[in-house]
Amino acid sequence: MATVRLILGDQLNPEHSWFRRVDPAVVYVLMEVRSETDYVVHHAQKVIAIFAGMRRLADQLGAAGHRVRYFRIGDADNRQAFAANLRTVFAEVGAKRFEYQEPDEWRLDEALRAFAADTALPGGMVASEHFLDGRGGVAAHFQKDAKRWLMESYYRRMRVRTKLLLEPDGSPLGGEWNYDKENRKPWKGTPPPPKPWDVRHDHRALWAEIAAAGVRTMGSPSAEAFPWPRDRAEALAQLAAFIERGLPDFGDYEDAMHTSSDRLFHSRLSFALNVKLLAPREVADAAAEAHRRDPARYPLAATEGFVRQIIGWREYIRGVYWAKMPGYAAANGLGHTLSLPAWFWTGAVKMNCLRHAVGQSLDTAYAHHIQRLMVIGSFCLTAGIDPAEVEKWYLGVYIDAFQWVELPNVIGMSQHADGGFLASKPYCCAASYVSKMSNYCGGCPYDPKDRTGPLACPLNALYWDFWLRHQDRFLNNPRVGMAVRQAAQMPPAEQAAIRRKAAELRAGIEEL
Ligand SMILES: Cc1cc2nc3c(=O)[nH]c(=O)nc-3n(C[C@H](O)[C@H](O)[C@H](O)COP(=O)(O)OP(=O)(O)OC[C@H]3O[C@@H](n4cnc5c(N)ncnc54)[C@H](O)[C@@H]3O)c2cc1C
C-alpha cells in the first residue's frame, strides 16, 4: 500500500519538501507522454531539455533511496497519458493515496483535479513551493473591476514584501523604484558579451528515442552539443556565470539586439527558472547581493532592472494568467485574423530583422525579450495576425514556453488582444526603432527609411497602417497618442498610399 506522487516535467526542483525524507511507502512517478509532447508542436530542444531534466531528477531521487517509477517515451507499457499511466502505477503498488504538486498550466490543473476526484483516493494537490506569491496574489492586490492592473504597482509591493533593494527606512535604494529609462542603449560591439555558459551535453541518444517515438517538433535539436542545464547544480553554475559576467551590463543593453550574439547580456535563465531548477528568490537575491558587494561593478540600474523581471514581471504575469484563464486564450480585442506565414517555421524571409530573430529562435529555442516583443511580436501585431496563431507558435518555439508565462506575454503584452488590460499601450515599432536598437538593417534588401516604395521596409507601412486602422481606440492613449495623431494628420494621399502598401504586404506576406 503506497502513496503515489506525480512529478510533472516542469517540476524538477530536487529541494522540494517532498524529498526531505526517504519513505519506502512513497512512489514518485515521472512520465514522458505524448499528451504533453503533442498538445502543440514544440521546439526539439524543449522536448530534449525537459526529458533530460526528468531523467536526471529520477536518477538523483533513486540514488538518494527514493522509489521512482519512470515511463520513457518509447516504453512498451507507456500508455502516453497521465491518467492511464497513473492507473497502471496505482495497480502496481496498491496506491492508497495520490498527491501532485500544483500545476502551472490551467489545462493540467483542470485535468489533474478531475483525475484526482475520479480516483477518490485521499491526497490531492500540494504547493510547488516555487513562486513568491500565490496564484491569486496579483488579483488580490488590485481592484477586481479595475480596467487594467499596472505591473509597477504590484512590483513595488513585491519589493517591500521581499525587502529587496530597499534602504533601511523601507524606501527604494537610490531613491527610485524603477530605473528602466537608463536601460535603453544600443550595443555597438563593446563591451564584449559574456562567453556562453559552457557546459554542453551530448543528447543524441535521447533525441533518437524522441524521434523514434514519432514526436513532431520544430527547430534544431542541437543534440550533439546541447546547451541547456539538466540539473540544479548546472543551473546554479549558469546563474553564477550570469551574475559574474552578464549582470554588470544587463541594464545598459537590455533592449539592444545584434546579429553577433543571440543573448547579449541577458541571463538565459528562464528555462532553469520555469522548470524549477532555480527558485526566483535565490536568483533575485544573487543579483541584489552582487550589487551590495560591489555597487561599482553591478550598477543599481542593472540590478534593479533584473530583479524587477523576476519578482515583478514574472510573478505578475502568472497572477494575470490565473485571474483571466480560460477565457484569456481566446482574446482577440483588435479583431485580427491573418494567418501566420509559413516562414515562421523555416526562417526563410528576406527581411533581415525577422530572418535573424525567427531563425535564431528556430536554431536555439531562445530569443531575448526585445526580439520577442519588438521584432517578432510587433510584426505580428501590425500585420494583423490572429493572436491565437501567434500564441501557439510562441508556446511551441521557446525553451521556456509554458502557457502560464507565455500566454499573457503574447496575448496581453505583445498582441494587445486583451483590450489593454495588461499593457498600457500596444508595443509596436517601425524600422527606425529596429535600426536604432540593432544592426539588423545593415545588408537588408529593404530600405528602412522608405514607407511606400517598392523596396520600402515592410515594418513602416504596417506600423503606420496599424495606427490608421485603430486610431479611434488609441487616440487618447497618452503613451501612443502622438504617433496616432501623426498618422491621422498625414495628407490623405499619403494615408491612402500607406493603406495600399500595407494591404499589398498582407496579401504577399508569404513572400516578405
Ligand atoms: C511575446 C513574448 C513571449 C514570451 N514568452 C515567454 C515564455 O514563454 N516564457 C518565459 O519565461 N518568458 C517569456 N517571455 C518573457 C521574456 O521575454 C523571457 O522570460 C526572456 O526573454 C527569457 O530570457 P532570459 O532568461 O535571458 O531573460 P532575462 O532578460 O535575463 O530576464 C531574467 C528573467 O526574468 C524573467 N522575465 C523577464 N521578462 C519577463 C516577462 N515579461 N514575463 C515573465 N518573466 C519575465 C524571466 O524568468 C527571465 O529569465 C515572453 C515575452 C514576450 C514579449
pLDDT score at 471: 93
pLDDT at 383 over 90: yes
Average pLDDT, the chain: 96
Any atom of ligand 1 within 6 Å of the Cβ of 183:
no
Task: Indicate the pLDDT class of residue 194, thresholds 50, 70 and 90.
Answer: confident
Task: Indicate the pLDDT class of residue 289, thresholds 50, 70 and 90.
Answer: very high
Any atom of ligand 1 within 6 Å of the Cβ of 377:
yes
Counting every residue written for the chain, the total comes to 512
- Per-residue pLDDT, averaged over 339-359, amounts to 97
Q: Which residues pair with 69 in a beta bridge?
A: 29
The CA distances from residue 256 to 208, 251, 353, 434, 471, in Å, are 37, 10, 13, 9, 29
Note every long-range contact of 35-38, with CB atoms under 8 Å and residues 24 or more positions apart, other chains counting.
35/80, 35/81, 35/82, 36/9, 37/73, 37/210, 37/215, 38/215, 38/216
pLDDT at 359 over 80: yes
Domain boundaries, the chain: 2-126, 151-212+227-320, 342-511
Residues near 296 by Cβ (< 8 Å), separated by ≥ 6? none
- CA-CA distance, 253 to 189, in Å (whole number)? 11
pLDDT at 144 over 80: no
In ligand 1, the atom with minimum distance to the C-alpha of 280 is 47
Asked whether 420 and 430 are in contact (CB, 8 A), the reply is no
Any atom of ligand 1 within 6 Å of the Cβ of 400:
yes
- CA-CA distance, 443 to 114, in Å (whole number)? 55
Distance from residue 269's CA to the centre of ligand 1 (Å): 9
CATH number of 342-511: 1.10.579.10
Pocket test for ligand 1, best of 283, 400, 415 (most atoms within 8 A of CB): 400
Distance from residue 365's CA to the centre of ligand 1 (Å): 13
H or E segment at 76? none
The CA distances from residue 117 to 87, 113, 120, 143, 263, in Å, are 13, 6, 5, 33, 44
Task: Take atom 17 of ligand 1 and give the residue whose Cα is closest.
Answer: 369
**Where would I find the H helices in 188-279?**
204-212, 232-241, 247-250, 270-274
- CA-CA distance, 53 to 271, in Å (whole number)? 11
Asked whether 165 and 176 are in contact (CB, 8 A), the reply is no
151-212+227-320 CATH choice from 1.10.10.10, 3.40.50.720, 1.25.40.80, 1.20.1200.10: 1.25.40.80
* Number of neighbouring beta carbons within 10 Å of residue 104: 23
Coil/strand/helix, residue 30:
strand
H or E segment at 5? strand 2-6
Q: Which residue has the cell 537608463?
A: 182
pLDDT at 462 over 80: yes
Task: Indicate the pLDDT class of residue 143, thresholds 50, 70 and 90.
Answer: confident
- CA-CA distance, 438 to 184, in Å (whole number)? 12
- Per-residue pLDDT, averaged over 91-97, amounts to 97
Distance from residue 234's CA to the centre of ligand 1 (Å): 20
pLDDT score at 198: 66
pLDDT score at 73: 98
Distance from residue 207's CA to the centre of ligand 1 (Å): 26
pLDDT digits (tens, 9 = 90+) for 474-512: 999 999 999 999 999 999 999 999 999 999 999 999 999
Any atom of ligand 1 within 6 Å of the Cβ of 364:
no
Any atom of ligand 1 within 6 Å of the Cβ of 418:
no
Task: Take atom 24 of ligand 1 and give the residue whose Cα is closest.
Answer: 268
Peptide bond just before 191 cis, omega within 30 deg: yes
- Supply the DSSP string of 370-387, one letter for each residue: HIIIIIIIHHHHHHTB-H
Name the CATH topology of 2-126: Rossmann fold (3.40.50)
Pocket test for ligand 1, best of 43, 253, 369, 427 (most atoms within 8 A of CB): 369
pLDDT score at 180: 86
pLDDT at 181 over 90: no
Report the Cα 356 to chain-centroid distance in Å.
19
Q: Which of 331, 312, 323 is nearest to 404 (CA)?
A: 323
- CA-CA distance, 378 to 375, in Å (whole number)? 5
**Where would I find the H helices in 170-327?**
204-212, 232-241, 247-250, 270-274, 280-293, 300-307, 315-324
Question: Is-above-0.95 flag for pTM?
Answer: yes
Q: Which of 265, 267, 270, 460 is nearest to 353 (CA)?
A: 460
Asked whether 243 and 267 are in contact (CB, 8 A), the reply is no
Any atom of ligand 1 within 6 Å of the Cβ of 268:
yes
